[in-house]
Structure 1
Amino acid sequence: AEIDAIANNEDAPTFENTIEEMERAGAALDRAFTYYGIYSANMSTPEFRDVQSELAPKISEYSTKITQNAKLFARIKAVYEQSQREPLEADQQRVVNLIYKRFEMNGAELDAEKKARYAEISKELSSLYNDFSNNVLHDEEGYITYLTEDQLGGLSEDFIKSAAEIASANGKEGMYAITNTRSSMDPFLTYSTERELRKQVWTNYYSRGDNGDEYDNNEIIAKILRLRKERVGLMGYDNYAEWRLQNRMAKNPENAMGLMEAVWPAAIALVAEEVADMQALADEEGVSITIEPWDYRYYAEKVRKAKYDLNSDEVKQYLQLDKLTEAMHYVAGELFDFEFTPVEEGKVPVFHPDVKVWEVTHKKTGENVGLWYLDPYARPGKRSGAWATTYRSHTTFDG
């Protein structure tokens, strides 16, 4: 209703009655999407994935209905074109540019027939993206390598303790679990003396969604590529990369490939040199192997110790989580004049016991900036990798 009211406004389009009103619209739904995103990225379960599968196409339909609203886009375009003649304030101009480009890139100027096909493709893609992510998450949760006590060679006491706790939580008391996540895989591949287990752990991780079972992503990937190409073709683009890069730093596929090809020869040469050092060290040890991907981290660490007298374990004391958190706060303070104050546990809601919260204020004025949530640990149901998101945005609409 809010979007329809903006689109059907009979007053001449302005930043205030079009762009600003769009930014205000849908606040309640945005909050619902925030909670949906928290569950999706941090607390996923098989039951929630069923909900995602049901909602993904509906969310796509909702989004497409907005970007294909002809009256709404006409108002956005009018404000954009006026701003090209008479530029707005920098922050307002930025918002106008972003909204106009988002609508343009999502088929707002297509004819009715192409819009209909665009919407169909977007709906199908939303389900495919959801299936892809859920399949990867399933394989991260489902492939766990269990070790016995005689298979712990090279591993640190802290890592062994953590692996024992995970195994116990999974009903494997007395064993040690290597989960199918980077935070578990990396240290195991770096320090474990068990080559066959290194191979198993490496294979599990790099085969997520590629195991030839009901959670295999190969067919999904092929469908995604075909549909992406068809969808951007409706708007006159030759390929997905051409469409995707137009508002990114590279601007076009040629620039991106040019950079890759410029870097590639040096990268290949460096890898060849590093692998040669690893192979030489393995040969010196009398190990009859050819260096494989699951050996890289293990022998790279050995080369560092032998060639540069650098032990990664000695560096770890400076890279403890508390110290790194302090360093992040220090940098933010220097750059933005922010101050971080820990929020007492239980004072604000969190979605998992691992999450810690800080109140952020301006050093000089004491003005509240917001809350900063830190959720640093991998766990089942949580999206892997390092990433950040926004749960509640700040606006200056009301002063």
Structure 2
Amino acid sequence: MIKKTLTILAISCMIYSCSTKTENNPFFTEFQTENGVPPFDKIKLEHYEPAFLKGIEEQNHRIEAIIENTEIPNFENTIVALDNSAPILNRVSAIFFNMTDAETTDQLTELSIKLAPVLSEHEDNISLNKDLFNRVNAVYQQKDSCNLTSEQKRLLEKTYKGFIRSGANLSTDKQARLRDINKELSTLGITFSNNILNENNAFQLFVDKEEDLAGLPDWLRQSAAEEAKAAGQANKWLFTLHNASRLPFLQYSENRPLREKIYKAYINRGNNNDSYDNKEIIRKIVSLRLEKANLLGFDCYANFVLDETMAKNADNVMNLLNNLWSYALPKAKAEAIDLQKIMDKEGKGEKLEAWDWWYYTEKLRKEKYDLSEEETKPYFRLENVREGAFTVANKLYGITLNKLEGIPTYHSDVEVFEVKDTDGSQLGIFYVDYFPRPGKSGGAWMSNYREQQGSTRPLVCNVASFTKPIGNTPSLLTMDEVETLFHEFGHGLHGLLTKCEYKGTSGTNVVRDFVELPSQINEHWATEPEVLKMYAKHYQTGKIIPDEIIEKIQKQKTFNQGFMTTELLAAAILDMNLHTLTDVNNMDILSYEKEAMDKLGLIPEIAPRYRTTYFNHIIGGYAAGYYSYLWANVLDNDAFEAFKEHGIFDKSTADLFRYNVLEKGDSEDPMVLYKSFRGTEPSLEPLLKNRGMK
């Protein structure tokens, strides 16, 4: 997943005086550090708000200069000037919004809620500034006679459409209503996400009887014991809703009631009628989004969002999702039958339930392939897996990553690497932060501390919540975590290798259904036999993973894909259903969700990967966009066929991908970029084949 910090292209009436107690605020100037890295050791809570306000003041002056420029509007004095108008805001936003996800505190959350309407107003003030839009429009109208490069045309198009899509052509009264909607949405989204984080942290499953740990591997028991001790409950075991705790518990625990308890706690987040309840919040969000879309001339929010994507509209998205559903659901049903057969053999007379799926899937994996996570985990030491991802990038693109010491970070878990190209020139700085903690949102993502622009190289981060080290045992990853590490590093490569002239087009600033191509194609290398032998080494003996285990991994690649594809599709369709609504008045969110899933025929043993009340993706930029993982999955499977045809480390193929995708950012239409790499539009067949559906 990629998380983008707030893009600020707005003007504000706010007046700010520099006479504060933070004259030495590190955000006020370029960071005075080697490579311009963030001085996390000097950044304090009290620096953020003055920096935001100072940044607004700075951007006000710069935009005023654009408007008052007596020269005829052109690309440089209007579009480029606007792209470069917010240095302070760019610096503070990049740090602040990463911190609210990776290392938040009550004070940061309180400040984010306070700042949200201020920043929303700032964004609206520029988007709705008539004089500024007139200059942008003047440049846009002469675009065909300006002799612009493809990247310049792309930035001009994005800037112009950004104003239109933000209400520049609306009447005054409609603009006023749009401002109110944007302000309310800005705070509702923060509250929604914060409720999920708080509920994640609030749930604690303490086990005080060793017999209730039956089936759990030693590493999970040790981890749970350490968690309990840290929580002040020595001689007990603590399990949480973090993936690294919840998923292995569901996978291995023989205690069915406890599996049910932790599963239900997870799928009912934001739905407990308590202080963290999200039902009314998400209803308001969907309702306000619909009203916003209507104001801007669209029948529903999905078509508003999709108008600027590869998919173009909701019908095209739903055609893909429904097509895949026709393959995925039958496969999931067949998998459920296989799991029920295992349960029947046990003679307990139990019926397969959702909280049984992971447990019996692991049994079935062992039965069918003689393979278990316990067999593979010792070969997936986190540091080795990370080095494997780095080595793949080196063999493909010639780049190197070397660890840097003494770089300031916001937490001791964070490590920093310098990334260099084949000629020794620096491509950027790369931060990794891999372990869960109470202040960190769940899941995994990539973001930037600084965007690439011209000769300015980026500062990129990967954040995740992988299995933590336990005592003398290092972090040993599951297969899913291995693929997640490669996935996020793929996003990182997109941000690090970009070579664009403008911030607005660089790196991952691409349409949502194209942004997952670099990340998802990178997953393919993780389990290639040649690559496994490069990094999968036993953490105790150092021996390379045996051929027989590699063979088992290859054979089980399509295993459980019915479940995985179905839960992903269910969430994507739920997202689309919510955002194609044309009437949200008096809607009961849970009833609507149930009706939508019943209509699909979703079996009760599977829930959508994200239910409505904890669907953080549709708050954090994937609204009417969760389908993009599957849209891009068509691209990445088709793209990897090119590598398989010529060799997975074929230099010419890698160069084509680097030049036409990774370096290009959003400098051209994504389908043009894809066809420049592949030579043709993508085929659906490789996806169906790789998911075992054809």
What is the TM-score normalised by the length of structure 1? 0.95
Is the partner of 2:91 in helix, strand or coil? helix
Matched, 1:289 2:350: yes
1:380 to 420, 423, 438: 438
Deviation at residue 308 of structure 1 after TM alignment: 2.3
Deviates most, 144-153 or 290-299: 144-153
Aligned to 1:236: 297
**1:121 aligned partner, one-letter code:** I
Identify which of 303, 316, 320 aligns with 2:364: 303
Where do 1:199-214 residues align within 5 Å? 199-214=260-275
SS class of match (2:416): strand
What letter is aligned with 1:160?
Answer: R
Contact 1:67 1:108 in 2 (8 A): yes
Residue 420 of structure 2: SS of its match in structure 1?
strand
- In 2: Cα distance, 1:213 partner to 1:221 partner: 15
Q: Does 1:46 align with 2:97?
A: no
**Among candidates 306, 311, 328, match of residue 245 of structure 1:** 306
Q: AA paired with 2:420?
A: T
Question: Within 1, Cα distance between the matches of 2:116 and 2:165?
Answer: 20
Query: Aligned runs of 1:1-399 on 2, under 5 Å?
Result: 1-86=61-146, 88-148=148-208, 149-344=210-405, 347-363=406-422, 365-396=423-454
Quote how far apart the aligned CAs of 1:319 are.
Answer: 3.0
Shift of 1:376: 1.2
CA distance in 2 between partners of 1:290 and 1:249 (Å)? 43
Are the equivalent residues in 2 in contact too, given 1:13–1:78 (CA < 8 A)?
yes
Distance 2:119 2:393 in 1: 35
CA shift in 2, pair 1:318/1:76, >3 Å: farther
Task: Give deviations 1:305-340, integer Å, cap 9, x for gaps.
Answer: 112222222222343312221122123324443210
Whether contact under 8 Å (1:87, 1:93) holds in the other structure is: no
What SS does the aligned partner of 2:443 have? coil
Could you tell me which amino acid in structure 1 is paired with residue 211 of structure 2? D
DSSP 3-state at the match of 2:447: coil
1:13-65 deviation line (CA, Å, top 9, x unaligned): 22211122122211112111122113211111223222222111111111111
SS in 2 for 1:274: helix
Number of aligned residue pairs: 396
Is 1:8–1:71's contact at 8 Å kept on the other side of the alignment? no
* CA shift for structure 1 position 228: 0.6
In percent, how many aligned pairs have the same letter?
Answer: 38
Distance 1:336 1:8, change over 3 A: farther
- Structure 2 unaligned blocks of 5 or more: 1-60, 457-500, 502-694
Contact conserved, 1:242 with 1:252, CA < 8 A, in 2?
Answer: yes
Whole-Å Cα distance in 2 between the matches of residues 113 and 174 of structure 1?
64
Q: Whole-Å Cα distance in 2 between the matches of residues 19 and 336 of structure 1?
A: 33
Relative to the length of structure 2, the TM-score reads 0.55
Write the distance in 2 (CA, Å) between the matches of 1:210 and 1:341: 45
Contact 2:98 2:447 (8 Å CA) reproduced:
no
Distance 1:234 1:136, change over 3 A: same
Deviation at 1:75, TM superposition (A): 1.9
CA 102–183 in structure 1, closer or farther in 2 if over 3 Å, else same: farther
The structural deviation recorded for 1:87 is 5.2
Deviates more, 1:79-88 or 1:28-37: 79-88
Deviation at 1:147, TM superposition (A): 1.5
Give the C-alpha shift of residue 97 in structure 1: 2.5
For the residue of structure 2 that corresponds to 1:370, the secondary structure is strand
Instruction: Report the Cα distance in structure 1 between the residues aligned to 2:160 and 2:176, rounded to whole angstroms.
Output: 20
Does the residue aligned with 2:80 lie in a helix, a strand or coil?
Answer: helix
Contact 1:181 1:205 in 2 (8 A): no
Kindly indicate whether the alpha-carbon contact (under 8 Å) linking 2:259 and 2:356 is maintained by their aligned counterparts in 1.
yes
SS at match of 2:436: coil
Q: Which amino acid aligns with 1:56?
A: A
Q: What do residues 149-199 of structure 1 show as CA deviations (whole Å, max 9, x unaligned)? A: 322212222222221111111111111111122222111111111111111
| Alpha carbons 1:356, 1:373 under 8 Å: kept | yes
CA shift digits 1:195-246 (9 cap, x unpaired): 1111111111111111111210000111111111111101110000000111
Q: Which moved more, 1:318-327 or 1:23-32?
A: 318-327
Which amino acid in the other structure matches residue 166 of structure 1? E
RMSD: 1.7
How much does 1:290 deviate?
A: 1.0
TM-superposed deviation, 1:397: 6.8
Larger displacement relative to structure 2 (165-174 or 251-260): 165-174
8 Å CA contact retained: 1:139, 1:180: no
Unaligned runs of 5+ in 1: none
Question: SS of 2:113's equivalent?
Answer: helix
Letter paired with 1:360: V
Q: Is the 8 A contact 1:68 1:115 kept in 2?
A: yes
Residues 397/3 of structure 1: CA separation in 2 closer, same or farther (3 Å cut): farther
Distance 1:98 1:329 in 2: 33
